[in-house]
Amino acid sequence: MDAQYILGEMFRNGIFCDHIYMRFARKYIMRASVQGHVDAITRMKELRSCVLCGADDAKLACSLCHRVRYCDSRCSEKHWCKGGGMGGDVSGGAGTRHKDTCPRTNARSGGVTTRKLHGAFGRSSFLIL
């Protein structure tokens, strides 16, 4: 039970590699919460709450990174465009727009920020800003 939770936290904090694996983190933390681990139950409530308004059991997630969750499309659009909300470590803080902090739209390479754009025929291209 403790091993599942610890493994989930290691994935959530990016200890295994340079980026965070929220899918694996949720998987192992959920397993620990089902087995009754108190900290895992608390963490699952935190991971499933809307990052903007704090509502429990948010059904929607960012379609790019799947790290932040929203209760409805209104919260998703507002957080993407204007920022604000409850904050949290995966969203980049309470005041920042998710558009600016989403790891799938912003990639750092050699100090230059590149933004991923979808070109014609579903191919990805990068625009250097």
Q: What is the mean pLDDT of residues 42-64?
A: 89
Q: Report the alpha-carbon distance of residue 38 to residue 63 in Å, rounded.
A: 30
Alpha helices in 14-117 (DSSP H): 22-34, 38-47, 73-81, 98-101
Verdict on whether the full-model pTM lies above 0.85: no
Q: In terms of pLDDT, which residue wins out, 46 or 103? A: 46
Q: Report the alpha-carbon distance of residue 43 to residue 55 in Å, rounded.
A: 15
The total of other beta-carbon atoms located within 10 Å of residue 80's CB is 19
pLDDT for 127 = 46
Q: Which residues pair with 79 in a beta bridge?
A: none
pLDDT digits (tens, 9 = 90+) for 10-32: 888 888 776 677 788 889 999 99
